[in-house]
Amino acid sequence: MSAAAIEAALKARLAEYADLPKAWPNQDFDPKDPGNMPYVACDLVRAGTSDRTLEGDAPETVGRLVATVVVAKGTSTGTANRHADAIAALFPRGQRIAAGELAVTVTQPPHIREGMTDGTYWRVPVAITFLAA
């Protein structure tokens, strides 16, 4: 399973939530641009790849998509929480997302973490755990 296929599948699924722009690693995005606030900061964390077959032809990659809703500090936490709830709803446990010939499967209910202040922003992370095989 290629890293590119996993990323493309998760990006496509998250793109279905069109209410906020997405900031992906190593792509141009200016959070100070008024048209980009609020937004979703996206991070893809691959925890590892294994293969339980003797032939070594069935790799499985586990990881987590962390989609962090970012709003201006001082605004209602309810706004960020509503966006986080909507993102979590896109990734219910058991959701299978096509990734080329294989699939990315959400293995746990999304975890909406506690909001936190970060400089001039309020951030609410949504952690989505997956298995790609």
Q: How many CA atoms lie within 13 A of 24 on its CB side?
A: 10
95-108 residue pLDDT tens = 999 988 889 999 99
Domain with residue 122: its CATH number is 3.30.2000.20
Distance in angstroms (rounded) separating the CA atoms of residues 129 and 133 = 14
Q: Which of 33-42, 54-63, 108-117 has the highest mean pLDDT?
A: 108-117
Residue 99: domain span:
3-132
Can the peptide bond before residue 109 be classed as cis, meaning omega within 30 degrees of 0? no
Q: How confident is the model at residue 50 (pLDDT cuts 50, 70, 90)?
A: low
Q: Is the pTM of this model over 0.85?
A: yes
Number of structural domains found in the chain: 1
pLDDT over threshold 90, residue 16: yes
In this structure, the strands spanning 121-132 and 59-72 are: antiparallel
